[in-house]
Chain A
Amino acid sequence: MLFGIKNLTKVYGGRKVLDIPELSLEKGKVYGLLGPNGSGKTTLLEILSFLLPPTTGEIVYDSRKVDFSETFLRGLRTEVVMVEQQPILFTTSVYKNVEFGLKVRKKPKEYRKKIIHEVLDLVGMRGFAEASAHRLSSGETQRVAIARALACSPKVIMFDEPTSNVDIENQIAIEGILRDINVQKGISVILATHNRIQATKLSDSIIFLFNGKPASSIYENIFSGSVRRDGDGNTYCLIHDKVRLVVRTDKTGYVKISVNPKMIKVFPAQDIPSGDHGFVGRVIQLTDEGGDVRALVDIGIPISVLLGKEEYKQAPILTGERVALVCPPESIEVM
Chain B
Amino acid sequence: MDILLDSFISAILLLKSLDAELYAIVFVSLKVASSSTFVASFIGIPTGFAIAFKEFPGKRTVITILNTLLALPTVVVGLFVYTFISRRGIFGPLDLLYTQKAIIVGQVILIIPIVTTFTIAAISQIDDRYRKTAMTLGATTLQTAVVIFREGRFGIMAAVIASFGRVIAEVGISMMLGGNAKGFTRTMTTAMALEYDKGEFILAVALGVILLTISFTVNLFFNYLQGRARV
Contacts and interface: CB of A to CB of B under 8 A. Distances in A.
Interface of A: 46, 49, 51, 70, 74, 77-78, 80-82, 84, 86-88, 90-93, 100-101, 104-105, 132, 148-149, 152
A91 B138 contact: no
Contacts of B135: 51, 77
Given A46-B132, A78-B138, 16 more contacts: A77-B135, A77-B137, A81-B138, A84-B132, A86-B129, A87-B129, A87-B133, A88-B130, A88-B133, A90-B151, A91-B230, A91-B231, A132-B231, A148-B137, A149-B136, A152-B138
A77 B138 contact: yes
Given A51-B135, A81-B136, A82-B136, A90 B143 contact: no
A88 B231 contact: no
A100 B136 contact: no
Contacts of A104: 137-140, 143
B134 interface: yes
A70 B140 CA distance: 9
Interface centre among A86, A90, A149 (most CB of B within 10 A): A90
Secondary structure type dominating chain B contacts:
helix
A77 B150 contact: no
B141 interface: yes
Contacts of B137: 77, 81, 100-101, 104, 148-149, 152
Contact of B151 (A49, A78, A91): A91
Given A90-B151, A93-B231, A84 B129 contact: yes
B145 interface: no
Contacts of B127: 88
Nearest to B132: A51
Contacts of A80: 136
Contacts of A152: 137-138
A148 B134 CA distance: 11
- Size class of B's contact patch? 10 to 19
A148 B129 CA distance: 15
Nearest to A73: B135
A70 B129 CA distance: 18
Given A93-B231, A104-B143, A132-B231, A88 B138 contact: no
Contacts of A81: 136-138
20 contacts: A51-B136, A77-B135, A77-B136, A77-B137, A81-B138, A87-B133, A88-B127, A88-B130, A90-B147, A90-B151, A91-B150, A93-B231, A101-B137, A104-B137, A104-B138, A104-B139, A104-B140, A104-B143, A149-B137, A152-B137
Contacts of A105: 138
Nearest to B127: A88
Interface of B: 127, 129-130, 132-141, 143, 147, 150-151, 230-231
Contacts of A86: 129
A300 to B, nearest CB: 37
A87 B130 CA distance: 9
Nearest to A158: B136
A70 B141 contact: yes
Nearest to B139: A104
Interface centre among B139, B141, B150, B230 (most CB of A within 10 A): B139
Nearest to B230: A91
A62 B206 CA distance: 74
Contact of A74 (B129, B132, B138, B150): B138
Contacts of A77: 135-138
Nearest to B143: A104
B140 A74 contact: yes
B186 to A, nearest CB: 43
Nearest to A46: B132
Contacts of B231: 91-93, 132
Interface centre among A70, A77, A148 (most CB of B within 10 A): A77
Given A88-B127, A88-B130, A92-B231, A49 B136 contact: yes
Nearest to A79: B138
Contacts of B138: 74, 77-78, 81, 101, 104-105, 152
Contacts of B140: 74, 104
A51 B127 CA distance: 16
> Which A-B residue pairs are the 3 nearest by beta carbons?
A101-B137, A88-B129, A78-B138
B146 to A, nearest CB: 10
Contacts of A51: 132, 135-136
Contacts of A49: 136
Contacts of A88: 127, 129-130, 133
Nearest to B153: A91
A72 B141 CA distance: 13
A303 B189 CA distance: 73
A90 B130 contact: yes
Nearest to B136: A82
A132 B230 CA distance: 9
Nearest to A75: B138
A104 B134 CA distance: 9
Given A74-B138, A101-B137, A105-B138, A90 B132 contact: no
B208 to A, nearest CB: 38
Contacts of B230: 91
